[in-house]
Amino acid sequence: MKDLLRTADLTGDDLTLLLRLAADFQDAPESAHDLLTHRIVPMYFAKPSTRTRLSTAAAVARLGGTAVALGPDELQLRRGETIADTARVMGSYAAAIVIRTFADADVADLAAAAPVPVINALTDGHHPLQSVADLLTVQEHFGHLRGHRIAYLGDGGNVARSLMEAAALAGMDVAVATPPGYAPATEAVAFATAEAVRRGGAVTLTDDPFEAVKGASVVYTDVWLSMGDADDERTRRAGELAPYQVNEQVMAHARDQAVFMHCLPAHRGQEVTAEVIDGPQSLAFRQAANRLPAAQAVLHALLTERLEGRR
């Protein structure tokens, strides 16, 4: 497995390996400090980023390398150079390439042409690095993954898809509650359902947030609105998603000792209340911190060719 473009690229064993590596890097952050000595990792960001950009740069540094952050105006892509040509050139200098952009097809094209590993740092369709950090956080808190139910409320976009896929690979139960028209992509649902059943878990789709959180150990949400949404689109989405806000009433319907998770950035008063995200049940900021060992684990596993992937 050369690249990580979506969580569904992983096998169950791959995910187990990544979680073990990430936990090891939590305990010994600089244990592989010479893996990237004198090597660079270009990081192309066509979208804003806080956690992904900083955590991946820190991961590269802990592995002994140098991260080179690049934006759309800093490459010849704007002047018509093809993605394939860019990939070939970058690959002749770099140990790996990290990319955050819009279209999944662009990342796939980059990976197809690049001679080095390519890591999807978020696209419109997927967020695999986030899903590894998510499960690392759950495992760290509860000690194990099997037997736990994750309930996701809100918009079934890229974070929901990758979370479903990861939870299914771990044999967990996952419930996703969305309004009509916001459900996760059919492909992600099919993959997660098949993998969950194979490993003793289950996938539930519903439009009832209280049904989703019943019996859940983890309640998870993401932002409702994107920066590019027009004003009328933002108003419509806010209205349709309002019943899926995670608040104290919703958390009370989950299991005793249930935790709250959010990939951040958060908008208090929209998808989550301040009482929840800033309260004792919240793991959101531990989750953010875990983006670093998760990125370190992914880079290490790809660079040492330890992931089997799906063939």
pLDDT per residue over 273-288, tens digit each?
A: 999 999 999 999 999 9
Backbone phi, psi, residue 195, to 5°: -70, -40
What is the per-residue pLDDT for 225? 83
The average confidence (pLDDT) of the chain is 96
Q: Are residues 169 and 266 in the same domain?
A: yes
CA–CA gap between residue 142 and residue 90 (Å, rounded): 41
What is the per-residue pLDDT for 227? 57
Backbone phi, psi, residue 158, to 5°: -60, -40
Q: Are 262 and 232 in contact (CB under 8 A)?
A: no
Q: Are residues 275 and 226 in the same domain?
A: yes
Q: Is 6 a catalytic residue?
A: no
What is the band of 112 on the pLDDT scale with cuts at 50, 70, 90? very high
pLDDT per residue over 186-196, tens digit each?
A: 999 999 999 99
Token digits of residue 16: 């187990």
CA–CA gap between residue 120 and residue 131 (Å, rounded): 12
* Residue-range definition of the domain harbouring residue 277: 130-288
Average pLDDT (140-149) is: 97
Q: Are residues 187 and 44 in the same domain?
A: no
Whether 211 is in a domain gets the answer: yes
pLDDT per residue over 219-238, tens digit each?
A: 999 999 875 567 788 899 99
Whether 94 is in a domain gets the answer: yes
What is the per-residue pLDDT for 228? 59
Q: Are residues 148 and 283 in the same domain?
A: yes
Looking at the predicted structure, is the pLDDT value of residue 173 above 60? Answer: yes
- Residue of 3, 14, 53, 130 marked active site: 130
Q: Are residues 94 and 135 in the same domain?
A: no
What is the per-residue pLDDT for 226? 72
Whether 228 is in a domain gets the answer: yes
Looking at the predicted structure, is the pLDDT value of residue 32 above 70? Answer: yes
Looking at the predicted structure, is the pLDDT value of residue 99 above 90? Answer: yes
Q: Are residues 242 and 182 in the same domain?
A: yes
Q: Are residues 17 and 114 in the same domain?
A: yes
- Residue of 53, 62, 291, 300 marked active site: 291
- Count how many domains the chain has: 2
What is the band of 290 on the pLDDT scale with cuts at 50, 70, 90? very high
Q: Are residues 57 and 167 in the same domain?
A: no
Q: Which of 213, 240, 209 is nearest to 225 (CA)?
A: 240
Q: Are residues 213 and 281 in the same domain?
A: yes
CA–CA gap between residue 272 and residue 264 (Å, rounded): 11
Q: Are residues 280 and 158 in the same domain?
A: yes
Looking at the predicted structure, is the pLDDT value of residue 311 above 80? Answer: no
Q: What is the DSSP string of 143-193?
A: S--TT-EEEEES--SHHHHHHHHHHHHTT-EEEEE--TT-PPPHHHHHHHH
Whether 310 is in a domain gets the answer: no
Whether 309 is in a domain gets the answer: no
- Residue of 127, 149, 161, 300 marked active site: 127
Q: Which of 261, 299, 283 is nearest to 117 (CA)?
A: 299
- Residue of 149, 161, 222, 300 marked active site: 222
Maximal C-alpha separation, the chain? 56
Q: Is 291 a catalytic residue?
A: yes
Whether 308 is in a domain gets the answer: no
What is the per-residue pLDDT for 178? 98
Q: Are residues 117 and 214 in the same domain?
A: no
CATH number of the domain where residue 181 is located: 3.40.50.1370
Backbone phi, psi, residue 49, to 5°: -160, 140
Q: Which of 33, 70, 74, 39 is nearest to 53 (CA)?
A: 70
- Residue of 62, 263, 296, 300 marked active site: 263
Whether 311 is in a domain gets the answer: no
Whether 2 is in a domain gets the answer: no
Q: Is 262 a catalytic residue?
A: no
DSSP assigned state of 122: -
What is the per-residue pLDDT for 299? 98
Q: Are residues 267 and 195 in the same domain?
A: yes
Q: Is 53 a catalytic residue?
A: no
pLDDT per residue over 250-277, tens digit each?
A: 999 999 999 999 999 999 999 999 999 9
What is the per-residue pLDDT for 300? 98
